[in-house]
Amino acid sequence: MFKSLNHILSKLEQQPQWEELRQFQRLVTCWQQVVGTTVAQQARPYSISRDILYVATSSSVWAQELQFKRRSILKKLNAEFTLQLVDIRFSTAQWEKNQETNEVLKSQSSSLQEHPSHVVETASLSTVALDESHSEYQHWVKLMQMRSQHLPLCPNCQCPTPQGELQRWGICCLCAAKNWQN
C-alpha cells in the first residue's frame, strides 16, 4: 500500500536525528533574541555536534569577544531549549560558506515566489485532516480542489490556473506548451 508523502515525512520526523535538527532550527530562529542584533549580524550558528554549538563569526575579533561571553550565551540557550549544550566554539572558517548559503537560499526563495505557476497556500489547506474513511488519494483530491477553487480559469481549457501564468501567457502552462509544440 502506498503511503502519502505527509505520512512518510511524519515518520521520518519522529526519528531521533530529526529532533536534533528541529532543535538547531529553533536555536537559529531565536539566536538574535539570545545574543542581540549586533552580535547576530556578526555571528551565526552553523551546526551542533556532540552537544557543542559551532558558530561562524565574521572576524577573529568577534570570535575572541564571543569566546569571553560563551558561558553567558550557553546559559541563555540552555534555558531556552531541551537540548543541553556543553560548549560553544567560535570560528571564522565557516563565515564565507555560511554567507553564500544564506544568499542562495534567499535568492531561491524569492525566485520561486516570482514563478508564474506559484500558488499562495491558504491557511485552510493545513486544516484538512485525513479522515480514516478516506483513502490517501481522496485526501489528495480534496486538497487539490481546495487549493484550486479560488484560481481563475484558463480561457482555453477551463482548468484552474495560477494568475501568474495567465498574466505571462494568457493561458495555462499546459496549453502554452501545446502551442509551443505546434
Residue scoring higher pLDDT (144 or 61):
61
Query: In which residue are the cell numbers 520561486 written?
Result: 112
Q: What is the pLDDT of residues 47-89, one digit of tens each?
A: 888 889 999 999 999 999 999 999 999 999 888 877 788 999 9
Closest CA to 165 of 182, 148, 181, 140: 148
Q: How high is the pLDDT of residue 44? A: 92
Under 8 Å between Cβ of 139 and 4: yes
Please, which pLDDT band fits residue 175 given cuts at 50, 70 and 90?
A: very high
| Predicted pLDDT at 128 | 47
DSSP class of 159: -
Contact 114, 170 (CB under 8 A): no
The confidence band for 141, taking pLDDT boundaries of 50, 70 and 90, is confident
pLDDT in tens, 108-118: 555 556 666 66
How does strand 52-57 pair with strand 43-49? antiparallel
Compute CA distances 38 → 33, 66, 87, 170, whole Å. 11, 12, 21, 48
Please name which of 4, 13, 3 lies closest in space to residue 144, comparing C-alpha atoms: 4
pLDDT recorded at residue 8: 77
